[in-house]
Amino acid sequence: MKHNTFEKIRSADVRIAIVRARFNEDITAGLLAGALEALQEAGIPSEKVRVVEVPGSFEVPLAADRLFAAKAADAVVCLGALIQGDTPHFEYISRACASGIMQVGLRHGKPCVFGVITCFTREQAEERSGPGDMNRGREAAKVALEMIEQLGEIA
Ligand code: RBF
C-alpha cells in the first residue's frame, strides 16, 4: 500500500478544524492529542489548526457545518466518543452523528472526517484513544489530509 507522506499539501495553505465533543472527556482528550500530533508530523503549522469544543457528539455536525459555512477550514476532523449505556440512546446519537457528519461533507464538498468512536465498553474506547497507531483521532487527521490531496487532484 502506498504510504502517504502528504508531500503535496505540506507546502500548501491548508486549514484544518477539529470539532471535539467533550462528553467522555478523557477519551476525547486522547483523540484530540492523536489528531494534533498527526497534523504536526505532517508539517501543518499549529496556527493553521483550529479546535472547537462542543458538549457531545450530537452537536458535532452542526459545528462542522458552521465552520465550513464560515469558510474557516479546508477539512473538519470530527472527534467524539460514544460508549453504550443501558438505554438505546447510544444508537440514536451514533446514527444522527454519523449521518450528520456525512451530510455536512457532501453539502460543502469538503472532507468532514468521522473520528467519532462508538464502543461497547470504556476499555474499547481507551484502546482507541491512547498513544500509538490505534488512536482514531490520529487516523482521522491523516484521512483529512489525504482527502484534501485527493479532492485537489480530482478538481
Ligand atoms: N455524547 C457523547 O459524545 N457520547 C456519549 O456516550 C453520550 N451519551 C449520552 C447519553 C445520554 C443518556 C444523553 C442524554 C446524552 C449523551 N451524550 C453523549 C450527549 C449528546 O451527544 C448531546 O450532547 C446531548 O444529548 C445534548 O444534545
Compute the distance from residue 114 Cα to the ligand 1 centre, in Å.
17
The finding on whether 144 has its CB within 6 A of some atom of ligand 1 is no
Q: What share of the chain is helix, strand, coil (3-state, %, to 5)?
A: 55, 20, 30
Query: How many angstroms separate the CA atoms of 12 and 76, rounded?
Result: 17
pLDDT, tens digit, 9 for 90 and up, residues 11-57: 458 999 999 999 999 999 999 999 999 999 999 999 999 999 999 99
C-alpha cell at 142: 491523516
Q: How high is the pLDDT of residue 12?
A: 59
User: Mutate which of 53, 79, 93, 121 to test ligand 1's pocket (most atoms within 8 Å of Cβ)?
Assistant: 93
Query: How many angstroms separate the CA atoms of 26 and 6, rounded?
Result: 29
C-alpha cell at 68: 465550513
Instruction: Report, as an integer, the average pLDDT of 94-118.
Output: 98
* Residue of 55, 78, 67 whose CA lies nearest to 137: 78
**Residue reference for cell 449505556:** 85
pLDDT, tens digit, 9 for 90 and up, residues 46-71: 999 999 999 999 999 999 999 999 99
Establish whether 89 is a catalytic residue. yes
The finding on whether 118 has its CB within 6 A of some atom of ligand 1 is no
Question: Given pLDDT bands bounded at 50, 70 and 90, which one contains residue 1?
Answer: very low
Question: Given pLDDT bands bounded at 50, 70 and 90, which one contains residue 5?
Answer: low
CA atoms in the 13 A half-sphere facing the CB of 140? 31
Q: Considering only CA atoms, which residue is closest to atom 27 of ligand 1?
A: 58
Question: Given pLDDT bands bounded at 50, 70 and 90, which one contains residue 132?
Answer: confident
Question: Given pLDDT bands bounded at 50, 70 and 90, which one contains residue 109?
Answer: very high
Q: Does the pLDDT value for residue 91 go beyond 80?
A: yes
Residue type, 107: R
Compute the distance from residue 44 Cα to the ligand 1 centre, in Å.
32
Query: How many angstroms separate the CA atoms of 95 and 98, rounded?
Result: 5
Query: How many angstroms separate the CA atoms of 64 and 113, rounded?
Result: 10
